[in-house]
Amino acid sequence: MGNEKKLVFVVEDNPVQQKQLQVHFEQTLGDFEVKIFPTPQALMNSLEEKPYAVVLDHFFEGQTKTGLDYIADIRRRYKNLPVIYHTTLDDEKVRMQVMDLGAEMYIIKDSASLVRLRTALDNIKEKESKRGFFSKLFGR
């Protein structure tokens, strides 16, 4: 079971970014299988697949709702699903809102964002490991 790939959902409408993220997760990191969604609506219809994490953008071409709206929707349906906000928007107010909604991390798309994505995934893995340890310890 240790070699099982973790499913990561990426919501990104830019085809270049989609490919870059997919290659990064599947080939560079190697522990993940990526499913790309060009729109948040498509993501919402697939959440019952219980991904390991969701990487969510802020802006979507032709959409009135932003990633903030969708992270709130995800939280209502799947309270503990890790969401990583990956956006070009460098806005402290939005960052605070995203974190208040329970995101794992707010990452601005730049030359270091792939490294920060790895850090966010490592943090999720560490939390999952601790949760597993304590559930075994306390019989949950």
pLDDT at residue 133 greater than cutoff 90: no
- Give 27's contacts (C-beta < 8 A, 6+ positions apart): none
| Domains defined along the chain, listed by start | 6-137 (3.40.50.2300)
Position 138 scores a pLDDT of 54
130: helix, coil or strand? helix
* Nearest in space to 104 (alpha carbons), one of 90, 92, 118: 118
* Nearest in space to 88 (alpha carbons), one of 108, 69, 113, 107: 108
Average pLDDT score over residue span 3-19? 91
Name the residue type at position 127: K
Please report, for residues 50, 67, 121, 127, the alpha-carbon distance to residue 74 in angstroms, rounded to integers and kept in the order given: 11, 10, 18, 19
Position 1 scores a pLDDT of 47
Position 130 scores a pLDDT of 81
Q: Which helix (H) or strand (E) segment is 129 a member of? A: helix 113-137
Q: What is the pLDDT of residues 83-112, one digit of tens each?
A: 999 999 999 999 999 999 999 999 999 999
Q: At what angle do helices 67-77 and 92-100 cross, to 10 degrees?
A: 10
Residue whose tokens read 């219980």: 50
* Nearest in space to 74 (alpha carbons), one of 83, 65, 66: 83
Tell me how far apart the alpha carbons of residues 105 and 112 are, in angstroms, rounded to a whole number: 14
Position 140 scores a pLDDT of 47
What's 15's DSSP letter? H
Query: Rounded mean pLDDT of the chain?
Result: 89
Average pLDDT score over residue span 7-25? 93
Position 131 scores a pLDDT of 73
Q: What is the pLDDT of residues 34-89, one digit of tens each?
A: 999 998 999 999 999 999 999 999 888 888 899 999 999 999 999 899 999 999 99
